[in-house]
Chains A and B, each alone.
Chain A
Amino acid sequence: MTITFYITDDPVNKIQKTLTGGVSVSGVLREATSEDNPVIKAVEGANLSATDKAKLRACNYAYIAELGKYYFVDNKFLRNNKLIDIPMNIDTLMTFASDILNQTCLIQRSEVYSSPYINDSERPAYNFPMVLTKNFSGSYEGFHMYLTVASSQPLSP
């Protein structure tokens, strides 16, 4: 089994990650381990150059070709200044990236394709609203006194 260790600076929720600094380590699984959460042991027991050892110490990502799966490096355990245990957990997004990208989804939020007129309860707002007044251009006509009287002399038709 060959494990290639990488460094990625991408966020964990990025589907397709950019990987650098690959170091391949070959070995066999001597203990039963989970396929999704494997623990790789005695890593530096392999015949590695100093450069590769340095890369290995810096790695945070891995790929197991036999399984076709990508993994996050969870932790690194040292003994006698040697890296011996590397627990990992599967990155399902990268592992199944092509299938995921073909899935038809109802998209709730998007960075690119969105409508500003759909209610967005997550949009932040200050706690002070703006309160504005808008005058109509017209107005009443000033105060005037009016007298209404009864008249005994109706208008002639």
Chain B
Amino acid sequence: MASNKLLSVTFTSLGGGISYNLACNSSDNIPESYLQGGHPFWSNDTPLYQTGGLVVGGSSNDWTWSRMGAIFKVMVKNGYGTENGGRVLLPKNSTWENVKCYLNGKQYDDDGNPMPYVVWEQIGFADAELVYHMGDGTSLGRLVPTTYGSNDGIYCGKLYDDGTFIGDIVGWLIPKSKIRPGTWTPPYSSRYYGWGGVGEKHPTRYQLISPAIINDLADYLPFEPEGSYVDEGGGDFDANSDPVDFPGLPGVSILDTGLLKMFQMNTTQVHDLADYLWSGLFDLDTFKKLFSDPMEAILNLSIMPINEATTTPTTIRIGNITTNVSGLPVNNQYKIIDFGTINMNEFWASYADYSPYTRLSIFLPYVGVQAMSIDDVMNGNIQLKAYVDLLTGSVQYILKSNQTNRAGHGHNSVLYTWGGNCQYQIPLTASNMSQVISSITGTVSTIAGGVAATVATGGLTAPLAVGMAAGSISNAMSAKTHVQRGGGIGGSVGIFGVQTPYLILERPEQVYPENYEATKGSPSMQTRPLGYYSGYVRVEAVNLSIPGATEAELKDIEAKLKGGVIV
């Protein structure tokens, strides 16, 4: 008898492989809250939480009937909680890990006897966060699949026991990019009563998931509420990102030519060199055949924060004169310094972790503090490398971001580059000295000018938002004046700076008033019958159609719905 009771959530792997349903027991209903990222089953005596109760039904050529258990196993990383009124209470900042949907089949033979479990398929999910409801409640956050079993893709929809199959599955389970048209392979018939029925070929219960349904699915992707899969805007929906990796070093080096030679020197060696240049040992006549001034052959004496030299000292040859001073020869003009990787994890697991609420900047030695977009890197990791030219001191910072956003889209590419100079030139002549002083003075002027301009104008990214609710997160963060945290710091002043790159994160400190969700709710942006909801609901738009209501009453109802009602 049709009761319009939700029986299953259907996942169909692509490629003509196994098809299966996540379903409840035939006599039970799936609590939709579980599918909505709601409350997982609770186990009080173990840190393992699992959303048991889902059963996968299906079969293959080799099995006449099987019933498969699908269990979301999750582990709370930091903390245990208590159950309170059906809600799981956990400490703040708890996260779920090891979330996996195991499609393990518990088999039954033709006589209905249970057979050993077999692994049919496994869907892996990225670590999921807990979603904190206002007050003290919490629930399992959105699960983003990372692996899809043996086939790259999953279809989904809801199957009801009246034979209807609709696609209003919650969107968080399936990234939009993974939903695509294809062929639905119905399971084989069941010979025993179960959710699949007796001897049915499922001609009515299972239907091809058409592009139209997939189009509907997109309406339920909470992170892409405006989108639809087909036709909107005529775009190709190509969400693939080509990886852009770190570059290699140049294959050509001036040091390879032998025209120039670099040596790493210690203080004693430099002192010995000075003594030699001003001693009678220096054969000036021979030297002058090439240079008018001995200093012309000493191209540069500098300090750099790089350790790049061979370990065996050799005699230094200036021009065509062999000195009695030695140094550690430098054979590689270029060097890469890997500063490592930082994971950019969400703190609030919400919009507040992104711009304009959260801001990110990076301090780079010899460059200063540079602004970054938190949107580029959040929920991923970043790796920073410096490419240094020892001859000139030029340093190029390259930052690579590996990110998958909450819609399942991502990149693994170089996104940022910054240039600077890490060489502090030591003046050897009067003209050298004036040049060095000039460069230092210029740098200081730049710093002073930068600070003055920032104070005078409020900075380029000064207050943006107006008209927001007083005290809101938008106001709290956007009203903050951006302060330039430093000016240019080239090699001459950069040697006094911090020698380790670091990130500067500015996050909002959110307020969690008691019963906030019950009195204001949180953004939903879904289109559904009002009766689908419970608790506080505020309507964005509605075309009321109520027989018998006067115009005044309709206006009154609309105003109340838009002001917020309790269902």
Measuring CB to CB, which residues of chain A are less than 8 angstroms from any residue of chain B? Answer: 10-11, 13-16, 36, 90, 92-93, 95-96, 99-155
Contacts and interface: CB of A to CB of B under 8 A. Distances in A.
A20 B390 CA distance: 86
B418 to A, nearest CB: 14
Interface string B258-285: 1111111111001001000000000000
Contacts, number: 362
A126 B524 contact: no
Nearest to B423: A146
Contact of A137 (B298, B339, B471, B547): B339
Contacts of B477: 125, 129
Contact of A13 (B384, B507, B547, B565): B565
B529 A104 contact: yes
Interface stretch (B60-68, B71-79, B191-199, B552-560): B552-560
B223 to A, nearest CB: 5
Contact of A151 (B317, B349, B505): B317
A16 B350 CA distance: 32
A148 B261 contact: yes
Nearest to A155: B258
Interface stretch (B117-125, B445-453, B493-501): B493-501
Contacts of B390: 146
Give the interface centre of A108, A117, A118, A132 by most chain B CB atoms within 10 Å: A117
A151 B261 contact: yes
B563 interface: yes
Given A96-B546, A129-B509, A141 B552 contact: no
A101 B531 contact: yes
A150 B321 CA distance: 11
Contacts of B565: 13-15, 93
Nearest to B468: A121
B526 A107 contact: yes
Given A133-B504, A138-B338, A154 B561 contact: no
B474 A147 contact: no
A125 B508 CA distance: 7
Given A106-B540, A139-B500, A143-B304, A118 B523 contact: yes
A117 B557 CA distance: 29
B303 A143 contact: yes
A123 B338 CA distance: 40
B266 A101 contact: no
B290 A152 contact: yes
Given A125-B511, A138-B500, A110 B524 contact: yes
A98 to B, nearest CB: 9
21 contacts: A36-B553, A95-B553, A96-B548, A102-B529, A104-B527, A107-B530, A109-B524, A109-B564, A118-B522, A120-B523, A124-B472, A125-B473, A125-B475, A138-B337, A146-B265, A147-B265, A147-B300, A147-B327, A148-B302, A152-B320, A155-B257
B339 A110 contact: no
Contact of A96 (B262, B357, B553, B563): B553
Contacts of A122: 469, 472, 520
